[in-house]
């Protein structure tokens, strides 16, 4: 298997285990200490590295406990992987001061890893 396929499999595993499986501890294996996520809505005061990633993931999991992520497409070049993904869930908890609405949401995104 090529290193690009290995890298794509690591990204798939992060989606499956961290986001869908809600296994926050896996971030310690996958997220570099210097990693800083630049996603809309992520509180700036969260620390870099696995700890910040776990705190943000925990907040999203609490607000959208039934969310499921699907990788729609994935490209790899060298040591870079880009994923186009879709998430579906229900807003069931407070997120960034916004109370639960019980509304279904669908979010799409592109992530470079």
In CATH, what number is assigned to the domain containing residue 72?
Answer: 3.10.450.50
Q: What is the per-residue pLDDT for 86?
A: 98
Q: What is the mean pLDDT of residues 79-92?
A: 97
**Could you count the other beta carbons within 10 Å of the beta carbon of residue 12?**
14
For residues 47-53, average pLDDT: 95
Confidence of residue 99 (pLDDT cuts 50, 70, 90): very high
What pLDDT sits at residue 110? 93
What average pLDDT does the segment 107-111 reach?
94
User: Whole-number mean pLDDT of the chain?
Assistant: 94
The boundaries of the domain holding residue 105 are 3-112
Distance, CA of 52 to CA of 27 (rounded, Å) = 10
In which element (H, E) is residue 26 found? Answer: none
Mean pLDDT of 76-98: 95
Q: What gap in Å lies between CA 87 and CA 14, rounded to an integer?
A: 14
Which whole number is the average pLDDT over 31-53?
90
Q: For position 1, what pLDDT does the model report? A: 58
Calculate the alpha carbon distances from 98 to 86, 102, 113 in Å.
22, 12, 29
What domain count does the chain have? 1
Query: What is the reported pLDDT for 48?
Result: 94
Task: State the Cα–Cα distance between residues 18 and 28, nearest whole angstrom.
Answer: 11
pTM, rounded to two decimals: 0.88
Q: Which residues contact 6 (CB under 8 A, 6 or more apart)?
A: none
């Amino acid at each position: 298997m090529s290193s690009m396929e290995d890298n794509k499999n690591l990204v798939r595993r992060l989606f499956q285990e961290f986001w869908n499986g809600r296994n926050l501890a896996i971030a310690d294996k996958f997220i570099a200490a210097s990693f800083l996520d630049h996603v809309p809505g992520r509180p700036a005061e969260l620390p870099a590295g696995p700890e910040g990633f776990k705190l943000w993931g925990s907040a999203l999991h609490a607000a959208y406990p039934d969310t499921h992520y699907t990788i729609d497409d994935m490209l790899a070049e060298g040591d870079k992987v880009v994923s186009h993904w879709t998430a579906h869930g229900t807003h069931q908890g407070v997120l960034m001061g916004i109370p639960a609405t019980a509304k279904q949401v669908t979010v799409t995104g592109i992530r470079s890893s």
